[in-house]
Amino acid sequence: MSSSNSNETAHQPASRRKSKLILLTVFAIFAAPLVAAIIVFNFWRPTKTTNYGEFLPPTPLPKLALRAADGSVAALEALRGKWVMLHLDSGACAQVCRTKLYDLRQVRTAQGKHMDQVERVFLVLDDQPLAADLARDYAGTHFLRVVDAATLPPALSTADAATRIYLIDPIGQLMMRYPPQADPGRIIKDLQRLLKVSAPD
């Protein structure tokens, strides 16, 4: 075997090792926020907190039967990796409902450079058609109609569920809920703390 062939043979394993190391490094960078979220919300729940929202038992959301505004099948799983602010109401969306839509838009905007890590979902609970101005005035909100209410978990089926705002973490767990007529300023602060963990500077 020639000297040049020996050098090439010796170089190949080192090159492969370097490629694997680069690949693992890139994966670690992108996976770190998700791992942090898992640790914080499954293993670290401080007894004394300053959060405004009420922590819920960390349980993955079941697959919900949903339809998008155009009638196509939709799934909350498509939003994995993001924080999701969710609320439920009638398609008629009276003033209280519209106030929630406005508040959620403001809460997301207030996250500044991290706002792309936050999504808004409105689950329509009935057959009432959505007013045309909702999609225009609250662009970016995912308007999804619940096809089968039986697929909703107990936490979203309470008598006061339509009065609350819920928070889903990046791994798809319903992890927090807010009181009726929640203070958007305090929700902003909660979300800022959470984003410091899952989307650090």
Q: Say if CB 148 and CB 66 are below 8 A apart.
A: no
Q: Say if CB 95 and CB 101 are below 8 A apart.
A: no
In the sheet where 54-60 sits, what is the strand order? 54-60, 173-178, 165-168, 83-89, 118-124, 141-146, 66-68, 73-74
Q: Domains, the chain, ranges and CATH?
A: 47-198 (3.40.30.10)
Q: Half-sphere exposure (CA, 13 Å, Cβ side) for 149?
A: 11
Tallying the residues shown for the chain, one arrives at 201
Give per-residue pLDDT as tens, 18-55: 666 665 555 555 555 555 555 554 544 544 568 999 99
Give per-residue pLDDT as tens, 119-166: 999 999 999 999 989 999 999 999 999 999 999 999 999 999 999 999
Q: What is the pTM assigned to this prediction?
A: 0.76
Reading the block at residue 13, the tokens are 């394993």
Question: Which residues fall within 8 angstroms of residue 102, CB to CB, at 6 or more apart?
Answer: 138
